Amino acid sequence: MVQLAYRWGAPVRPYIAPVVTCRVAAAPWEHDEYWRLRREVFVEEQRLFAETDQDSHDDHALPIVAVTELLGMADEVVGAVRIYPISGEGDCITGARVWFGGRLAVASTYRRQGRVGRALIDTAVGTARTLGCDEFLAAVQRSNIPYFERSGFEFIRAAIVCGTPHGLMRARLERFPGVELGAQAAA
């Protein structure tokens, strides 16, 4: 990661990598950075959890990361999201295979650009579709609902998660093509 430098006493803007790719975390360092970023955002910054945001869903979730590139090499994890099936064999009534996405986190220097969050969303839903998803849901913090609506989700109902107002949202699957597993989506 490129560190902040000072020139003539004024801070220099943080470096924003022009190339960011999203993929299911594979390398050990990607997993380590995935957990670091989640802790940074949900424990330290938002204080939604006291010590860790990990739960039983992490035992079977697929971690997806957004990784910057520097000189053609993977450099830093700047985004994270997890996806997991909540009805692997299909719902007993509809037969639908439902997947859930959550814990979407973007490093502070990459927020407000829209590209990292959108690439994570596209990769998350596309990966779930490739794995047989018939319905994709997400609990989204209230302030992020408009962003998710612009990104292909529809609001279902209000919810409270970790004492914070959220909206339960559903992806409009027709807007998300499947992705080849292991493929990278550029942000």
pLDDT in tens, 44-65: 998 888 899 899 999 999 999 9
**164-171 and 153-161 beta bridge pairing:** antiparallel
The fold of the 17-186 domain, in CATH, is Aminopeptidase (3.40.630)
Its pTM stands at 0.86
Q: What is the pLDDT of residues 65-120, one digit of tens each?
A: 999 988 888 889 999 999 999 875 555 445 568 999 999 999 999 988 778 999 99
Distance CA 121, CA 101 (A): 9
Domain locations in the chain as residue ranges = 17-186
The pLDDT of residue 70? 85
The SS3 assignment for 133 reads: coil
Distance CA 14, CA 37 (A): 17
Burial class (CB in 10 A: 0-12, 13-18, 19+), 92: exposed
Q: Band of the pLDDT at 10, cuts 50, 70, 90?
A: confident
